[in-house]
């Protein structure tokens, strides 16, 4: 399975589709900011970025609670499996929800890691996932395009992935 493959859907209960692993995730819909290494921008510190990203790699378990009432979404216990992406500053998040003690895959999304803000972000046409990394916790929201906060997510790291 390739990280750039389209069609993976991150469904959030009752058929509510929120995000998909698509090329525009974290990309073409936003105004383009100069990238590190472009003229006038500092060169990236790839060793530092790699170290920060390595701390995120692994399994994270917690709750995804619905904030917007009158939606088909439901509160969920979730496990996010985070792996390094195909290039520095990119992470692949494969998410499961736990139903009757069993993990049910919800798909995969590509996130950008913002080292300065200590955040992982996936911005696409269906919404913006933004979680802040603090030690063994990831905490943040899923905000819909109309600025409605649909979900609040709080995760704790359960185990690192080696290698």
pLDDT tens, residue order, the chain (163 aa): 333 332 333 333 323 333 333 334 554 343 344 444 444 544 444 444 446 788 999 999 999 999 998 899 999 999 999 999 999 999 999 999 999 999 999 999 999 999 999 999 999 888 999 999 998 999 999 999 999 999 999 999 996 555 4
Domain at 9-28+45-160, CATH class: mainly beta
Assigned token pair, 41: 């921008």
In the chain, where the domains are located: 9-28+45-160
| pLDDT for res 20 | 35
């Amino acid at each position: 399975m390739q990280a750039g493959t389209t069609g993976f859907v991150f469904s959030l209960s009752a058929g509510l589709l929120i995000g998909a692993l698509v090329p525009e995730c974290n990309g073409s819909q936003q105004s383009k900011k100069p990238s590190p290494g472009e003229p006038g921008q500092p060169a990236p510190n790839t060793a530092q970025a790699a170290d920060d990203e390595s701390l995120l790699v692994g399994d994270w378990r917690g709750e995804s609670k619905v904030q917007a009432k009158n939606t088909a979404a439901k509160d969920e216990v979730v496990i996010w499996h985070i792996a390094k992406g195909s290039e520095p500053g990119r992470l692949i998040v494969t998410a499961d929800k736990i139903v009757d003690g069993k993990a049910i895959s919800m798909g995969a999304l590509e996130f950008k890691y913002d080292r300065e803000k200590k955040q992982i972000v996936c911005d696409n046409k269906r919404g913006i996932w933004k979680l802040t990394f603090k030690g063994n916790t990831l905490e943040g929201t899923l905000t819909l395009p109309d600025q409605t906060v649909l979900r609040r997510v709080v995760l704790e790291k359960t185990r690192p992935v080696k290698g």
